[in-house]
């Protein structure tokens, strides 16, 4: 699993011009899923994201986690995070999991994240054409891949 985390002062998701998720201080999580991803990847990534100290403390140092700032989160599935651009100019998505594999893992990720986080998160809809708006705070943008744990 690969994620792009963006620390935001606000973010929202619209599907068919309808607002389906909105947050203020928190993180927007763009989630890319591969065929070989497992529950272990979900658990490791969830812990990593929730405990990542990317929010400022009173001295302006990134020293606080999402829980410590009582932030919120939105999770959006994004298969393009596994794009291969090595050959030609058209990205290949061969590493991205097929929908029948990816969608259940996306739902499991959200359920596990909410359980560990202790509250509901906003979300997109798997496979939908979504419009994501955000104000990246900082800017702080971090990429994490569960296959690169060490």
Q: Residue 76 falls within a domain, yes or no?
A: yes
Q: Residue 68 falls within a domain, yes or no?
A: yes
Find the CATH number of the domain harbouring 54. Answer: 3.50.80.10
Q: Residue 18 falls within a domain, yes or no?
A: yes
pTM of the model: 0.94
Q: Residue 150 falls within a domain, yes or no?
A: no
Tell whether the model's pLDDT for residue 32 goes beyond 70.
Answer: yes
Q: Residue 136 falls within a domain, yes or no?
A: yes
More confident residue, 73 or 86: 73
The structural domain count of the chain equals 1
80 among known catalytic residues: yes
What pLDDT, in 10s, does the model give residues 79-137? 999 988 988 899 999 899 999 999 999 999 999 999 999 999 999 999 999 999 999 99
pLDDT at position 138 is: 95
User: Confidence band (pLDDT; 50, 70, 90) for 149?
Assistant: confident
pLDDT at position 150 is: 67
**Average pLDDT of the residues in 143-150:** 89
Tell whether the model's pLDDT for residue 74 goes beyond 90.
Answer: yes
Q: Residue 81 falls within a domain, yes or no?
A: yes
Q: Per the residue annotation, which of 46, 80, 85, 141 is the catalytic one?
A: 80
Task: Return all residues near 71 (Cβ < 8 A) that are at least 6 apart.
Answer: 23, 25, 26, 27, 55
């Amino acid at each position: 699993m690969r994620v792009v985390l963006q620390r935001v002062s606000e973010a929202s998701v619209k599907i068919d011009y309808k607002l389906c998720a909105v947050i203020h201080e928190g993180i927007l999580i763009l989630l890319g899923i591969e065929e070989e991803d497992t529950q272990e990847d979900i658990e490791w990534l969830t812990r990593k994201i929730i405990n990542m100290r990317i929010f400022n403390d009173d001295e302006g140092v990134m020293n606080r986690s999402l829980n410590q700032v009582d932030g919120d989160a939105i999770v959006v599935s994004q298969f393009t995070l596994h794009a291969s651009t090595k050959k030609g100019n058209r990205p290949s998505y061969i590493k991205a999991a097929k929908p029948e594999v990816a969608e259940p893992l996306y739902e499991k990720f959200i359920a596990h994240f909410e359980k560990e986080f202790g509250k509901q998160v906003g979300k997109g809809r798997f496979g939908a054409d979504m419009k994501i708006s955000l104000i990246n705070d900082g800017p702080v943008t971090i990429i994490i891949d569960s296959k690169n744990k060490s």
